[in-house]
Amino acid sequence: MVFKELETPLFLSSPVQNYTRERRKLHKEKCLPSETCFNGGECVQRKRCDCSRYNATGSRCQTVHNTGSERDSICRTWGQYHFETFDGLYYYFPGKSTYDLVRQNGLDEQSFSIQVHNDPECTDSVYTCGRAVSLFFAGDGEIKLQGNNVTYKGHSVELPHIVEHVHIQRIAGYTIVRHQFAFTLAWDGISTLYIKMTPDYLGKTKGLCGNNNAVIQDDLMTSFGKHFLFS
């Protein structure tokens, strides 16, 4: 992916503190309430954020590289709009529709996709708005997770439940979906979802969880080869 290059922050470690404070105040007055900066970013000018506090990137500091070794190549999403890819790119995407989190590159008899349904009417807390997850497998019906309910082809199922290569169970308040060959998914029934792929799927996915190729810089590349930066 390509991040917009921010100009050198004006106010970092400046030896002229009074001048710095005045400039900061002047620029703050130009910022609109809607021009929120994320991840500790500070609006210093209309449509421009200083992202240096947490080394964030993007015009609104909406992306952060998480390179912590403990993250274990897990894609996670929470609170409707927060995402972190398999390769460790955190970003904020305020989408109010249905999105592919993971879709397998190419089609074969094992093809699958994992989708998240955000609440199109969400104006309240992102942790109380509705959210659901759908899983689709080639030649089979939809498995849907909503709250603590699980449906298969539109009918509720009791857990644990097995559908072909998929085993669904409840553990410690999470709905766990294990695909024999592809992934393990954990859903908290509210807004948080974790997905870990098997090693066979290294570099073989697309969607909001990224391409899972251990390269953080290309995770927001679209199907058309364009780099996408949320604004």
Q: Cβ 155 to Ca ion, closest distance in Å? A: 37
Q: Is 41 within 8 Å of 57 (Cβ atoms)?
A: no
Query: Applying CB under 5 A, does 219 fall inside the site for Ca ion?
Result: yes
Of 86 and 92, which has the nearer Cβ to Ca ion? 86
Of 65 and 165, which has the nearer Cβ to Ca ion? 65
Residue in 14, 213, 227, 228 binding Ca ion, rule: CB under 5 A: 213
Q: What is the Cα–Cα distance from 168 to 144, expressed in whole angstroms?
A: 11
Q: Is 112 within 8 Å of 136 (Cβ atoms)?
A: yes
Q: Cβ 75 to Ca ion, closest distance in Å? A: 11
Provide CB contacts within 8 A for 209, sequence distance 6+.
75, 83, 85, 86, 101, 102, 195
Neighbours of 219 (CB within 10 A): 26
- Give the pair of three-digit tokens for residue 189: 């029934």
Provide CB contacts within 8 A for 145, sequence distance 6+.
132, 133, 134, 135, 175, 177, 187, 189
Residue in 10, 126, 190, 215 binding Ca ion, rule: CB under 5 A: 215
Q: Is 99 within 8 Å of 207 (Cβ atoms)?
A: yes
Query: Applying CB under 5 A, does 74 fall inside the site for Ca ion?
Result: no
Show the site string, 79-98: x = touches Ca ion by CB under 5 A, - = not: --------x-----------
6-14, 66-74, 127-135, 213-221 -> range binding Ca ion (CB under 5 A): 213-221
Restricted to residues 146-175, the positions that interact with Ca ion (CB under 5 A) are: none
Query: Applying CB under 5 A, does 66 fall inside the site for Ca ion?
Result: no
Query: Applying CB under 5 A, does 110 fall inside the site for Ca ion?
Result: no
Restricted to residues 193-212, the positions that interact with Ca ion (CB under 5 A) are: 210-211
Of 27 and 76, which has the nearer Cβ to Ca ion? 76
Of 169 and 213, which has the nearer Cβ to Ca ion? 213
Helix (H, G, I), strand (E, B) or coil at 23: helix
Of 58 and 210, which has the nearer Cβ to Ca ion? 210
Closest CA to 215 of 71, 86, 100: 86
Q: Is 35 within 8 Å of 43 (Cβ atoms)?
A: yes
Q: Cβ 182 to Ca ion, closest distance in Å? A: 18
Q: Cβ 85 to Ca ion, closest distance in Å? A: 7
Which residue ranges make up the site for Ca ion (CB under 5 A)? Answer: 87, 210-211, 213, 215, 218-219
